[in-house]
């Protein structure tokens, strides 16, 4: 059976039941659970240190009013980070390569930041649609352009995450297929291709971490504009 390179992005199913929900909830099993012990093990200490580091980085551009969102943003960051990294393992599925899932994450959070600004400071939020000192003939066009750029933000968040992860997975599959095909005929070239594959895998680990951080960082910047 000939498989397409894009078959890896289709949601696996078992007895007709999509398994994407299991792959989305599995990262929660890797997080530390509540414990009454005073002294935790090294793994829990490392995880808590990493979560505190993420929280500090995400809260730096925000005012004190935005610190109420610390739990939501940090949880989203850890969720995306674990899903992206687990998706690089062999014979796994990456839910964040699905545009529908990324839009389902981006749109409600973007809408929440927008409604927060309209509730707390409606004049300042609407003032972003029209820069100060705009000539009168350009006012309708600029309002239309700024409104379009505002509404396209959640789409840009979802497409950016989907495109970067999809491109990386496709490159890994293409180079790994070439490595396997060349092994019997040109082993030296196959070895060089394997070296490229190894370096690309390291790059994809970095991309998976960076894209999760960029997704949440942009949401925090959108929040900062509205508080």
Per-residue pLDDT reduced to its tens digit, 185-201: 888 888 998 899 899 99
Which of 18-32, 61-75, 125-139, 157-171 is modeled with the greatest confidence? 157-171
Q: Supply the range of the domain harboring residue 144.
A: 18-226
Q: Residue 97: which of 27, 165, 159, 155 has the closest Cα?
A: 165
pLDDT digits (tens, 9 = 90+) for 72-87: 998 899 889 988 888 8
SS3 call for 17: strand
Whether 140 maps to a domain, the answer reads yes
Q: How far apart are CA 227 and CA 9, in angstroms?
A: 38
Tell me the mean pLDDT in the region 146-164. Answer: 90
pLDDT at 1: 37
Number of domains composing the chain:
1
Give phi and psi for 33, each to the nearest 5: -95, 165
Whether 10 maps to a domain, the answer reads no
Residue 145 reports pLDDT greater than 70: yes
Whether 29 maps to a domain, the answer reads yes
Whether 1 maps to a domain, the answer reads no
Whether 227 contacts 111, CB under 8 Å? no
Top pLDDT among 18 and 120 is at: 120
Top pLDDT among 112 and 1 is at: 112
Whether 57 maps to a domain, the answer reads yes
Give phi and psi for 18, each to the nearest 5: -65, 135
Residue 2 reports pLDDT greater than 50: no
Top pLDDT among 24 and 180 is at: 180
Whether 215 contacts 190, CB under 8 Å? no
Whether 220 maps to a domain, the answer reads yes
Residue 94 reports pLDDT greater than 80: yes
Whether 6 maps to a domain, the answer reads no
- Indicate the burial class of 225 (C-beta count within 10 angstroms; 0-12, 13-18, 19 or more): middle
Top pLDDT among 41 and 114 is at: 114
Whether 200 maps to a domain, the answer reads yes
CB atoms closer than 10 angstroms to residue 151? 11
Q: Which DSSP string corresponds to 122-144? A: HHHHHHTTS-TT--GGGHHHHHH
The rounded mean pLDDT for the chain is: 82
- Ramachandran area for residue 24 (φ above 0: left; ψ -120 to 50: alpha; else beta): alpha
Residue 107 reports pLDDT greater than 90: yes
29 to each of 18, 25, 26, 72, 104, how far by Cα in Å? 20, 8, 6, 18, 22
Q: How far apart are CA 8 and CA 24, in angstroms?
A: 16
Query: Residue 5: which pLDDT band, with cuts at 50, 70 and 90?
Result: low
């Amino acid at each position: 059976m000939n498989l397409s390179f894009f078959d890896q992005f289709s949601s696996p199913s078992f007895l007709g039941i999509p398994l994407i929900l299991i792959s989305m909830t599995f990262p929660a099993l890797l997080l530390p659970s509540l414990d009454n012990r005073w002294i935790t093990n090294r793994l829990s200490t490392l995880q808590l240190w990493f979560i505190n580091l993420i929280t500090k980085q995400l809260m730096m551009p925000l005012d004190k009013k935005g610190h109420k969102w610390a739990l939501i943003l940090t949880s989203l960051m850890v969720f995306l980070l674990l899903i992206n990294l687990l998706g690089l393992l062999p014979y796994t599925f990456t839910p964040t390569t699905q545009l529908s899932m990324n839009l389902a994450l981006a749109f409600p959070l973007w809408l929440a930041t927008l409604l927060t600004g309209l509730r707390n400071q409606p004049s300042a939020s609407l003032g972003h649609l029209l820069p100060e000192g705009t000539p009168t003939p350009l006012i309708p066009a600029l309002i239309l352009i700024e409104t379009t750029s505002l509404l396209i933000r959640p789409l840009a968040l979802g497409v950016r995450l989907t495109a970067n992860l999809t491109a990386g997975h496709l490159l890994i599959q293409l180079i790994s297929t070439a490595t396997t095909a060349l092994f019997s005929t040109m082993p030296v070239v196959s070895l060089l291709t394997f070296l490229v594959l190894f370096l690309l895998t390291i790059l994809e680990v970095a991309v998976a971490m960076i894209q999760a951080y960029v997704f949440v960082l942009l949401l925090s910047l959108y929040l900062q504009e509205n508080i």
